[in-house]
Chains A and B, each alone.
Chain A
Amino acid sequence: MQEIIDRIHAAESPLIIRGGGTKNWHGEDTKGEVLDVSSNTGIVSYEPGELVLTARCGTPLAEIEALLAQHRQMLAFEPPHFGSGSTLGGTLACGFSGPRRPYAGSARDFVLGIDVLDGNGQLLKFGGQVIKNVAGYDVSRLMVGALGTLGVLMQASLKVLPKPQSEMTLQFECGEAEALQRMNEWAGKPLPLSASAWLSGVLTIRLSGAESTVQAAHAKLGGEIHDRGAEFWKGLRDHTAAFFQDDVPLWRLSLPSTTPSLNLRGKHFINWGGAERWLKSDASASEIRARAAAHGGHATLHSGDKSADVFHPLPDALMKYHRRLKQQFDPRGILNVGRMYSAF
């Protein structure tokens, strides 16, 4: 830790914080010296009965998941890995969540506390290791998805959950409109849904829970059992599925789940019960953004030509408070400057 603090103190120009480096592609391209934080590793505490795990942020995600699995527990937001070296810190800084997100919650939902080094190299400890905590502003959750622009994440405590006893992936042939209707209707019923996606005429859902519950839901809903379900969801989660394998720009659209098909040029698949749409398209950024915004959503450029902004532009009022918060936590402008928006 001292080494990282010294680097921040000594820095006269922006640093690029790097954990496992598996998500270097995410966000705007930035310039600066690399601040490698991947050696800040180790699980600090884990007691299954508490449902809480605390680890240093350089700890590989895979190590955390393996330990949890030994106790039949899991990170319920099903974090994408995007490579073998991904760390806890990078996962939280990007704030990505996997297929279980609409049913279980997002990365930030499971964060209980985070220790950060601010732009002055000062260690700040927010939140804690208990499930309920409303002392002080919720700065630990503010750090999730902030892309390291507000602080270097050093240690985090997460709520973990028991792993479901069994899971089953089912497939149904159906069109897009019908799939959207079903995903939303089913989510409003007491069904053990834990993922749902639609791609090229096939609706795929995952059921999780007690064996009997999963069986009963299968009997109710019908559908064909997918015999490599786990692989299917992992392919969507980590973008290793065939859909992602070409050079066309990749966009992520986050939308209200009932939004009808946007009819944008290119191919797309629907995830998160309708709330996340991945689009492979060479349509212009402005067209994609306008269409998403018209439905109350936003669009992020995941890969492709970054001459357009990566993130959806913010209204002026929001931008004003973003800049003030950046100024508050990183007054010298040292940490991941410009990674999110060029303005800070």
Chain B
Amino acid sequence: MISNEVVRHLQAILPPHSLLLAREDLKPFETDGLTAFRNTPDVVALPETEEQVKQLLAICRETGTPVVFRGAGTGVSGGALPVDGAVLLAMTKFNRILDIDPLARTARVQPGVRNLAISEAAAAYGLYYAPDPSSQIACTIGGNVAENSGGVHCLKYGLTVHNVLSIRVLTIDGEEMVIGSEALDSPGYDLLALMTGSEGMLAVTLEISVKLLPKPERTQVLLAAFDDVEKAGSAVGAIISGGVLPAGLEMMDKLAIEAAEAYAGAGYPLDAMAILLVEVDGTQEEVSEDVMRVRDVLLASGATEVRTARDEAEQKKFWAGRKAAFPAVGRLAPDYYCMDGTIPRKALPAVLKRITELSAEYALPVANVFHAGDGNLHPLILYDANQPDAWEKAERLGADILELCVEHGGTITGEHGVGVEKINQMCVQFGAPELLAFHGVKACFDENALLNPGKAVPTLHRCAEYGAMHVAGGKLPFPELPRF
């Protein structure tokens, strides 16, 4: 519990409407997009000025009170999940677009601005902000920077880290810094890369400048059906090694296709075992050529059918099913749990096969939707939280899937972050030296671990407990540590 003294300090700097203390007001903040984890916060602060944020961090520093930052709360790894005894600091009132410079192709925005709002504001100039998480109508750019979020167009246009020019941050020490610049590089270390994806563990972001891109002249979408998941998987590699870099390259398996079709009526072939959606963009000429090349590769890879959207309306229709995949799958069961592993594309067939086996072993259906071009899987585990042990089972299956990704040379999270969700799998992904280095980096910016404590990087004790500590040369690292 937060002490009354800290609350009194907060009341002194924040007007009553910016400080939530009543249980019914706090309830909506008990979870983020990972709803299996809930914890009602003691207080929620919704500051409106940077001065208030500064004073709030000063209070936290001086009283040793932890802080958890929050954007829109759409994160799906528990990054914004309240921590006991912490202030939950929501940045949503910082929602102004400060400046758009069409000639320099940059936008300067506050962290609470929604991702899509940037592209909407830039549209008048024929420009847009490239990273487009499916949550883009809701999620904030501050949250995107904290998670290094991706979207369906990452393969060609990169993640958040490739599209942010600079950020202004405030550390718990009260240091305010501009990291990066509106030039293409800055002197010193690349702290911009370090801050991006740091899950609210190093500093709070106060302002962000992003790069804007010209809207492509033309876009075209192809839909290919396969009678075998493995063939679809190899087609992905074949398109890319054929020299085309699609703007988007998505794959759905049978269960996902059926769910999406029932939900969105996108016209997907229901007899297919897998479909690929391939979006190519560029100039008129480029798109025409790429469509031909991709079509040939798809057919040569064994596609049973390849459709090219006739017009924009049909392109939208092809995408509608993919975009609705999560809510559509959500109708198949009371709850679903979305995983986020990434693997080398060549491992796709083997990993999919093993996921099917695991799904049978756990008796929980899994629908697969992925950013196939990036090798980023989103297996959706279906379960019913009202059944005893169902969540624990789903969580164990999820852990098995992530560890499977690591086994195949991949990673436990492609774009959703570690948060509280994948903290045990961090022990599988990394060895003790890397984990200690991460704690060291954290300590450089937040010596007393007041920012989002306990998230993103597990303690070695925790890893020992999880029993997955890498054993080097038959010896456990740090044998002096108690293992419980």
Contact = CB atoms under 8 A, between A and B. Distances in A.
Contacts of A256: 104, 106, 181-183
A222 B440 CA distance: 55
Interface residues of B, number: 96
Contacts of B375: 130-132
Chain A interface residue bracket vs B: 35 or more
A108 B190 contact: yes
Contacts of A313: 187
A188 B430 contact: no
14 contacts: A71-B241, A109-B158, A125-B430, A134-B416, A137-B194, A137-B438, A184-B103, A189-B126, A191-B214, A296-B183, A298-B181, A298-B187, A321-B177, A321-B191
A326 to B, nearest CB: 9
Interface stretch (B132-140, B251-259, B277-285, B311-319): B277-285
A168 B40 CA distance: 61
Interface in A308-341: 311-315, 317-318, 320-322, 324-325, 327-329, 340-341
Given A135-B422, A163-B243, 17 more contacts: A49-B241, A50-B346, A124-B433, A130-B374, A132-B342, A135-B426, A136-B429, A138-B161, A161-B245, A184-B103, A188-B126, A189-B214, A256-B181, A298-B183, A298-B186, A322-B189, A324-B445
Given A130-B342, A190-B282, A139 B441 contact: yes
Contact of A325 (B106, B240, B426, B441): B441
Interface string B391-424: 0000000000000000001111111111000100
A47 interface: yes
Interface string B309-348: 0000000000000000000000000000000001111100
A190 B345 contact: no
Contacts of A213: 282-283, 285-286, 289
Contacts of B179: 318
Contacts of B283: 190-192, 209, 213, 216-217
A188 B214 contact: yes
Contacts of A340: 188
Interface stretch (B16-24, B148-156, B354-362, B381-389): B148-156
A277 to B, nearest CB: 10
Interface string B170-200: 0100011101011111111111011011100
A71 B243 CA distance: 9
Contacts of B288: 212
A244 interface: no
B183 A185 contact: no
A118 interface: yes
A189 B216 CA distance: 8
Contacts of B457: 136
A184 B182 CA distance: 14
B363 interface: no
A102 to B, nearest CB: 6
A135 B411 contact: yes
